[in-house]
Chains A and B, each alone.
Chain A
Amino acid sequence: MVAMIRRYHRWLMLFVGLQFLVWSFSGLYMVLVDIHSIHGEDLVTAKQPVLAPWTEGYQKAKKSTLQSLQQQTRQLISMDINDVLSKYPNASSISLGWLANKPVYRLTSVEAIVIDAITGDVINSISKNLAADIALLSVDGSREIQGVNLITDNPPSEIGFRRLPLWRVDFVGINSPTLYINYTTGEIVTVRQNTWRIFDVLWRLHIMDYYEGEDINNWLLNVFTISGLLAALSGLILLWFRLFKNNPVEHTA
């Protein structure tokens, strides 16, 4: 009986043993490396500057106090949200936020429109320099850019099915961080770095879906899981015998 179980354990593990190693190694990586850093949250800052100093009302209120006498003059937001909307009444959402260090309106009408809130000009697309500025201003600390490239076709697999064109901004560093920036709105679409890239490969190995990396119910995984359960069960019986049945008993098949 024990001999039979030991044989099953061996042959099953000969089949699934390597996958056990893959499961435990990929699992270990995934639990050890903080998921927030995988997502690049320690790279890209969530903090944004406040809008108030760029508005007239706020500046007037400040002027009335003494300490703001040497207030630097800066260009203020000249367009109110009502002005923008009377021009684009079909917008279904509009927001005032940031494009690099410039306040802009972003509206969704039929398509996305970006308007410089200071000059009122429509910003049709993000230039290469602006893409670099956006990237530099959104990362924590000082970093060096390795290259800025526009992706119009053949997207790298690491961005999935995101809409093109996108600016790809690569930073220098062992983790090779890359920021992807929307070509029309200047928003950061996603962040990729080597810890993410390794995670992605290990995840595919973990779920045994090597092409799509999505299906956790594929037949290969199911076959290995069921065999794995049987292999573990035979191992458990062997363990039980080794722990409690170590007195010499005669065993025949």
Chain B
Amino acid sequence: MILKNIHKWVSLVVFIQLFIWMGTGFLLGKVDGNKAAGRDTLVRQSPASFSRFYTNDSVTKGALKSPFVSINALTQQYPLATQIKLGYLFNQPIYKLKIFAGQHNYQASNYKLIDAITGELIDLSSPVLVAKHAMLISAIAKTSTKKNGYAMSSPALLQPPIEELPRERNAVWQVNIDDESQTSVYIRAQTGDVIAHVNDETRWRDLLLMLHFMDYTEQGSFNNWFIKVFALLTLLLSSSGLWWIYRLFKDGQIKLTWFIRNKTVLVRSSETSKGQHLRTSANSSILNSLLTNNISIQAVCGGGGICGTCKFKADVQLAASAADRKHITQSELDLGYRLACQHLIKEVSVIGLDKRK
């Protein structure tokens, strides 16, 4: 009985989430992963080599021996750098100095961008961008996407938490493209890297993930307290349910057979004084056999062994189940009364049904 009560009350708490989990799980399988990750619109730039700064031709007019700011000069000015990388910001050679970074790019980090030729600091994190930088961000956004000819918003600086990038802990620039899937290009302000193309498919996937992970505070994580509690309760629900099934097997209330074996029993009731022969499956419960043959019997809980309303009188002394003992008095048990949902047709040959009280 404790088992059945646990099963009932826990299911009352978690049932909505069960539907959400299975529903969102199913729908997540239908999401177009490539599109949601923005891979269908993202253009990966392959960086140009630095050879043009070294070859001596008519364009460079006698190559510079040291076109880039020296490591010495950099470390004097930025003594906290732990890694120095020469690369490109759009098409301009820049140094990217790593002061600190986590193991994932979205974690809080500290990078500095330096013009590799002039040594000037390039600060893309200021909310009021100098016109040159604003154009740069727009250009980066524009060349990052395969979609051409759509209106683009001017860059807006967002501080974390960022609605569409729940895990991001760094400031980002957002450029919205007015295409049919409403793509937003996100560029990390410290580094100028394009970090995401978010479109309607991404938003749909993220909504499903948020619901699946119960991430209502939008941390971009499934290690939150709501889901921990619900997962624990759900484990309780499924294990109590499985235990219940196991008990039904053990008590012989569920039988798995390859063939349907039939058996004829006699049903005596006040309505049919002589009794009525019933040919029905030997391994189905007495209750279900009566109900499917339109013989009326009370069964408030539908065969759960919970309500105690499905009483009948057997012609033999059947082993009483726990539910029998809970709902039927000892003297009635001695007379052969049992619950119809607790016994199978094959256990009896005569079923006695009392008059309605």
A81 touches B68 (CB 8 A): yes
Interchain nearest-CB distance for B160 vs A (Å): 17
Task: Give which listed residue, B29, B48, B287, B300, contacts A245 with CB less than 8 A.
Answer: B300
Which of B55, B75, B231, B297 sits near A58, CB closer than 8 Å?
Answer: B75
Cβ–Cβ < 8 Å partners of B300 in chain A: 2, 241, 245-249, 251
- A61 vs B72: C-alpha distance when bound (angstroms): 11
- Tell me how far the C-beta of A119 lies from the nearest C-beta in chain B, rounded to whole angstroms: 15
Q: Are B291 and A252 in contact (CB under 8 A)?
A: yes
Q: Does A174 contact B (CB under 8 A)?
A: no
Question: Are B54 and A25 within 8 A (Cβ)?
Answer: no
Q: Does B301 contact A (CB under 8 A)?
A: yes
Q: What 1/0 flags go to A220-253 for Cβ under 8 Å of B?
A: 0110011011001101101101110111111111
B303 at the interface (CB under 8 A from A): yes
**In the assembled complex, B309 has its CB within 8 A of some CB on chain A:** yes
Report whether A34 and B223 are in contact in the complex, using a CB–CB cutoff of 8 Å.
yes
Q: Which listed residue, B80, B228, B302, touches A31 by the CB 8 Å rule?
A: B228
Q: Does A73 contact B (CB under 8 A)?
A: no
Assess whether B296 is in contact with A252, with CB atoms less than 8 Å apart: yes
B19–A10 touching, CB < 8 Å: no
Assess A51 versus B84: contact at CB under 8 Å? Given A28-B235, A80-B66, A80-B70.
yes
Which residues of A lie under 8 Å from residue B68 when comparing CB positions? 81-82, 85
CB of B87 closer than 8 Å to a CB of A: yes
Annotate B15-30 by CB proximity to A: 1 below 8 A, 0 otherwise. Answer: 1001101110110111
Do the beta carbons of B48 and A92 come within 8 Å of each other? yes
- CB of B22 within 8 A of CB of A232, answer yes
Cross-chain contact of A24 among B55, B76, B235 (Cβ < 8 A)? B235
Shortest distance between the CB of B303 and any CB in chain A (Å) = 5
Taken residue by residue from 124 to 148, chain A's Cβ proximity to chain B (1 for < 8 Å, 0 otherwise) reads as 0000000000000000000000000
Cβ-closest chain B residue relative to A230: B22
Complex alpha-carbon distance, A246 and B224, angstroms? 37
Which of A21, A58, A235 is within 8 Å of B79, CB to CB?
A: A58
Q: In the assembled complex, which residues on chain A have CB atoms less than 8 Å from the CB atom of B2? A: none
What residue in chain A is nearest B249 (Cβ atoms)? A14
Q: Which of B205-264 contact A (CB under 8 A)?
A: 213, 221-224, 227-228, 231-232, 234-235, 237-239, 241-242, 245, 248, 254
The answer on a CB contact under 8 Å between A28 and B232 is: yes
* Count of interface residues, chain A, beta-carbon cutoff 8 Å: 84
Residues of B1-39 whose CB lies within 8 A of A: 8, 11-12, 15, 18-19, 21-23, 25-26, 28-30
Chain A residue numbers with a CB within 8 Å of B85 are: 93-97
Q: Select which of A17, A41, A109 is within 8 A of B245 by beta carbon.
A: A17
CB distance A243 to B12 under 8 Å?
Answer: yes
Q: Which of A48, A56, A232, A248 is close to B298, meaning CB atoms less than 8 Å apart? A: A248
Contact A82 B66 (CB under 8 A): yes
With both chains docked as a complex, state the minimum distance between the C-beta of A52 and any C-beta of chain B, in angstroms.
4
Of the listed stretches B99-107, B125-133, B143-151, chain A binds B99-107
A159 within 8 A of B: no
Query: Could you name 19 residue pairs across A and B whose Cβ atoms are closer than 8 Å?
Result: A2-B300, A2-B303, A17-B241, A24-B237, A28-B228, A32-B231, A33-B223, A46-B100, A52-B76, A80-B72, A85-B86, A89-B55, A95-B85, A235-B11, A242-B306, A243-B12, A249-B300, A251-B299, A253-B294
Given contacts A20-B237, A252-B295, 10 further A-B contacts (CB under 8 A): A18-B242, A28-B228, A50-B79, A52-B80, A58-B72, A81-B68, A235-B11, A239-B12, A242-B304, A253-B294
Which positions in B face A, CB cutoff 8 Å? 8, 11-12, 15, 18-19, 21-23, 25-26, 28-30, 46-51, 53-55, 65-68, 70-73, 75-76, 78-87, 98, 100-104, 213, 221-224, 227-228, 231-232, 234-235, 237-239, 241-242, 245, 248, 254, 287-288, 291-292, 294-304, 306-307, 309, 341
